[in-house]
Structure 1
Amino acid sequence: MEQRIEQQLDWSDYVGFWKRVLIHFVDFLVLALPTYLLNRICVSAAESAESAFPLFIQFVLLMGFNVFMVVKYGGTPGRLILGARIINGDGSYPALKQALIRDCFLIINGFLAVIVSLNTEELSAVSSSLANWSPLATNLNLLFGWVVVADCLFVVFTQRNRALHDMMAGTYVVKKIALDHFV
């Protein structure tokens, strides 16, 4: 089935590196304020409750939003605004499993960031225990930062402009206009 989409689309129908950079910038512009407000609410709740639980809720909401957007609409707000879509080998939007695999580096980095942030506040016995993992989480976060950089560079050097996470999930980032002709 994967050959079907590859046979139907031209090499110029795949979104390249710089357009992906622009997509992430638009995502930042659109999502920065809501993310900041959610963060303030969750940090305040964590401090009031003396619990790390609200920080993990924030993490789940942010990751869940991203996965939901990819499964339901084929992309994040930046992709939708700039006319790009994430599809699988048969041309449909990714399934939940594909979206989770596609976002695995983001999910791991986000989880490690929550653990690192626990080192700044003593919220509870659980968060104190997790904070003991903060130095390791910081180093792992740095390592995964380099993995993300390498992942992004795959777009420059691979056929059909696929990042490592696209290859792992069996997805492609394509121009929406190309999909309109495909369907």
Structure 2
Amino acid sequence: MLYAGFWKRVLASIIDNLLLWFVFMILGLIWFVIQAIGDWGSSLVENSLLTDGSSPIFTMKMVGQTLLNWGAMWLYHAIMESSKCKASVGKLALGIVVVDEFNQRLSFGRASARHWSKFISAIILCIGFIMTAFTARKQALHDLIARTYVVDKRELNHILREQAERGAGM
């Protein structure tokens, strides 16, 4: 099996993050316009500033937006990686997919576990991501936790075809 290496996975992540950034910027702009129209003429924010000069409404909106972004990123990765595609847009662009230990598509639950485990990979100074360069099967910490592998799509298709032919020939 040809496992996807560190730099290929980094590039896929960059592609995904750029895509998500663009989508979040468009949605944020739309949200800003809707809020501006709704707040037109309102002096609520000016009259409710905290002692540090920030607004409780602004702070709550930022927390809400952050939670929405995290939710959107989770759904993006979990849905894409548990779909027939087996990969996010960035991974698809580089010809790599995420599979379980049986080379099958992930369940939504396993894809979700993989996604949320990335926080563990990140909070330990990104060592969980760097592990990809040093493990035998090119697994990051979140892959080890979720028991997943990132592999070359063509190689996987070849292996699955061979298995199907052997199964049909019996």
TM (normalized to structure 2)? Answer: 0.69
Deviation at 1:17, TM superposition (A): 0.6
Give the aligned residue type for 1:179: L
Change (3 A) 1:40 1:154: same
Secondary structure of the structure 1 residue equivalent to 2:102? coil
The answer for the alignment partner of 2:75 in structure 1 is 64
Please give the residue correspondences for 1:91-170 in structure 2 after superposition, counting only pairs within 5 Å: 91-106=103-118, 145-147=122-124, 149-170=126-147
Contact 2:20 2:73 in 1 (8 A): no
The answer for the alignment partner of 1:115 in structure 2 is none
Deviation at 1:36, TM superposition (A): 1.4
Unaligned runs of 5+ in 2: 40-56, 161-170
Instruction: Tell me, in whole angstroms, the C-alpha distance in 2 between the residues paired with 1:41 and 1:26.
Output: 23
The answer for the alignment partner of 1:130 in structure 2 is none
Of the two, which has the highest radius of gyration?
2
Change (3 A) 1:98 1:166: same
The answer for the alignment partner of 1:74 in structure 2 is 86
Q: Residues 56-96 of structure 1, C-alpha deviation per residue, up to 9 Å, x if partnerless?
A: 33432232122111111211101011100000011111111
Instruction: Tell me, in whole angstroms, the C-alpha distance in 1 between the residues paired with 2:157 and 2:8.
Output: 19
Which one is further off, 163-172 or 146-155?
A: 146-155
Unaligned runs of 5+ in 1: 1-8, 110-143
Instruction: Extract structure 1 runs of 4+ deviating beyond 6 A.
Output: none
Instruction: Tell me, in whole angstroms, the C-alpha distance in 1 between the residues paired with 2:77 and 2:99.
Output: 15
Deviation at 1:54, TM superposition (A): 5.1
Instruction: Tell me, in whole angstroms, the C-alpha distance in 1 between the residues paired with 2:131 and 2:153.
Output: 22
1:19 lines up with 2:31 in the alignment = no
Secondary structure of the structure 2 residue equivalent to 1:160? coil
Deviation at 1:32, TM superposition (A): 2.7
The answer for the alignment partner of 1:134 in structure 2 is none
Instruction: Tell me, in whole angstroms, the C-alpha distance in 2 between the residues paired with 1:44 and 1:148.
Output: 37
The structure that is helix-richer by fraction is 1
Pairs aligned (count): 137
Secondary structure of the structure 2 residue equivalent to 1:85? strand
Greater RCO, 1 or 2 (C-alpha within 8 Å, sep 6+):
1
Q: What is the alpha-carbon root mean square deviation over aligned residues? A: 2.6
TM (normalized to structure 1)? Answer: 0.64
